[in-house]
Amino acid sequence: MEIFVEVARQRSFSAAGRHLGISRAMVSKHIMQLEAELGARLLHRSTREVSLTELGQAYLEPCSASVEQARQARLVISQAGHELAGGIRIQAPSSFGSEWLADALARFALLHPKLQPTLHVDDNLLDPFKHGFDLSIRVGGIPDSRGLHMRRLAPCRGILCASPVYLAQHGMPVHPEQLLQHRCLHFSHLTQGNTWHFERAGEHLAIDITPGFSSNNGKVLHQAALRGLGIVYDTSFLAWRDLLEGRLIPVLTDWALPLNDFTALYPATHKVAPKVRALIDFLVEEYQPVPEWDKALLAARLI
């Protein structure tokens, strides 16, 4: 059922397999078994896309609910019998820490009243050992991860967008090179400097933008975009609600931006502290297979 839900979201056996960490053949096998058990065809297959049949569409909602209930049940079991106590220090990027992690961490602390979490939000790549962090959440590849284990938490999906007012005044770009005629709102911590990278059907472009406004904090740029200042290199976890409600409009949707991941880094010891392990498991259950912000955008076909 979980595989079926993922195929329905991705509209692709291959994409679902990549997301779940299994082969396309294994995805197909499970779907065929599910259809055989139900005695109904759930999916139309073609060389270009997978789509839901009428019965598949009817089955998707209760199936999704069952998968979510199973996820919650696994979480309850994983936390049962473990009384976690003491301090735990976590570092996370500023925007993600305030927008999403703070709420998840508060709910985790409610499950474990004797736990004393400390959340430090900072977009600098601080050394976990030097600063005494039990868990560091970062974006993308980590060059200094010797002595650390890394576990994927969620996608960090870049998205270009602008306000309707800005686009009405300056026009909608149809090619990345046209960004050179627009005011670009730039996240100064991008590892590529002032270069924005795009890909479409095997074609790669690198556009050296001149930032019309830059900041080391994504929420600052997001707010500037809402005010109509320019086209922002935003993230789906930050922009999702404004995209759904029309306050921001996606730009250059035919082109893909580099896809990074939020990753959890923790000391590579033989025995990981139970409170660290439990928090990582909690966050994995919270954000996988698809985090709430991307679920909403996928449902609205905005990504």
* Residue-wise pLDDT tens digits, 198-241: 999 889 999 999 999 999 899 999 999 999 999 999 999 999 99
pLDDT of residue 81: 57
Write down the H helix ranges in 189-247.
218-226, 236-244
Does position 9 have pLDDT exceeding 90, yes or no?
A: no
Provide the mean pLDDT of the chain: 88
Q: How confident is the model at residue 178 (pLDDT cuts 50, 70, 90)?
A: very high
Tokens 């200042």, located at residue: 229
Write down the H helix ranges in 21-101.
24-38, 54-79, 94-96
Angle at 158 between CA 175 and CA 102, to 5 degrees: 160
pLDDT of residue 145: 54
- Selected residue with higher pLDDT from 123 and 54: 54
Crossing angle for the helix pair 24-38 and 13-20, to the nearest 10 degrees:
110
pLDDT of residue 45: 87
Does position 141 have pLDDT exceeding 60, yes or no?
A: no
Does position 173 have pLDDT exceeding 90, yes or no?
A: yes
CATH number of this structure's domain 86-153+261-297? 3.40.190.10
Rounded mean pLDDT of 268-295?
87
CATH number of this structure's domain 157-259? 3.40.190.10
Which two three-digit tokens encode residue 99? 């927008």
Q: What does the pLDDT look like over 44-53, one tens digit per residue?
A: 988 778 899 9
Rounded mean pLDDT of 22-27?
88
Which SS3 state, helix, strand or coil, does residue 212 take? strand
The residue ranges of every structural domain in the chain are 2-79, 86-153+261-297, 157-259
Rounded mean pLDDT of 4-12?
88
Beta strand 203-208 with 86-92 is unpaired
Percent of the chain topping pLDDT 70: 93
Does position 67 have pLDDT exceeding 70, yes or no?
A: yes
Domains 2-79 and 86-153+261-297 fall in the same CATH topology: no
In CATH terms, the fold of domain 2-79 is Arc Repressor Mutant, subunit A (1.10.10)
Q: What does the pLDDT look like over 73-127, one tens digit per residue?
A: 776 666 555 678 889 999 999 999 999 999 999 999 999 999 999 999 988 777 7
Whether the CA torsion 156, 158, 163, 164 is positive or negative: it is negative
